[in-house]
Amino acid sequence: MFLATFKFSIFCEVSRILNESLVVLPSYERCKIQSNLQKYSADLTQAIDVKPKKFGFCRNVVESDLKKDVVDRELLKRETAKIERNIEQDIKAVPKFVLEGLQNDQKTILNCKDEDVLIKDCKNATITINEIPGTVHLINLSNSVIVASPLKTSIFIRDCKNCQFYLSCQQLRMHASTDCDVSLHVNSRAIIEDCSKIRFGPLPLKYSETDKLDVCGFKFDPESHKKVDDFNWLSKGQSPNWSLLSQSKNG
Write out pLDDT tens, residues 158-169: 999 999 999 988
Higher pLDDT, 244 or 249: 244
What is the band of 188 on the pLDDT scale with cuts at 50, 70, 90? confident
| Residues paired with 202 in a beta bridge | 184
What is the band of 17 on the pLDDT scale with cuts at 50, 70, 90? low
- Helix or strand (DSSP H, E) at 184: strand 178-186
Helix ranges restricted to H, the chain: 2-21, 27-49, 59-92, 205-208, 210-215
* pLDDT for residue 96: 77
Residues 6+ apart with CB under 8 A from 145: 125, 126, 127, 163, 164, 165, 166
Between CA 123 and CA 204, with CA 150 as vertex, the angle to 5 degrees is 75
Q: Is the confidence at residue 2, as pLDDT, over 50?
A: no
Measure the CA dihedral 201/136/152/197, to 10°: -20
Closest CA to 163 of 130, 191, 139, 192: 139
Select from 2.160.20.70, 3.30.830.10, 3.30.420.40, 3.40.50.300 the CATH code of 97-249: 2.160.20.70
Q: Is the confidence at residue 140, as pLDDT, over 80?
A: yes
Name the phi and psi angles at 100, rounded to 5. -135, 135
Closest CA to 171 of 192, 149, 186, 151: 186
Q: Percent of the chain scored above 90 by pLDDT?
A: 36
Least confident range from 148-152, 183-187, 195-199, 224-228: namely 148-152
Query: Would you call 197 helix, strand, or coil by DSSP?
Result: strand
Among the ranges 51-65, 198-212, 232-246, which has the highest mean pLDDT value? 232-246
* pLDDT for residue 136: 93
* pLDDT for residue 166: 94
How is the chain split into domains, by residue range? 2-92, 97-249
Mean pLDDT of 13-25: 61
- Is 160 exposed, middle or buried (CB count within 10 Å of its CB: 0-12, 13-18, 19+)? buried
CA-to-CA distance for 6 and 43, rounded, in angstroms?
13
State in Å, rounded, how far the first CA of the chain is from the last one: 57
* pLDDT for residue 80: 60
* pLDDT for residue 222: 82
How does 198-209 read in b/e, with b if 16+ C-beta sit within 10 Å? Answer: bbbbbbeeebbb
Q: Is the confidence at residue 29, as pLDDT, over 70?
A: no
What is the band of 138 on the pLDDT scale with cuts at 50, 70, 90? very high
CA-to-CA distance for 49 and 65, rounded, in angstroms?
12
CA-to-CA distance for 241 and 28, rounded, in angstroms?
36
Cβ–Cβ < 8 Å for 208, 192: no
Neighbours of 172 (CB within 10 A): 27
> Does the global pTM surpass 0.85?
no
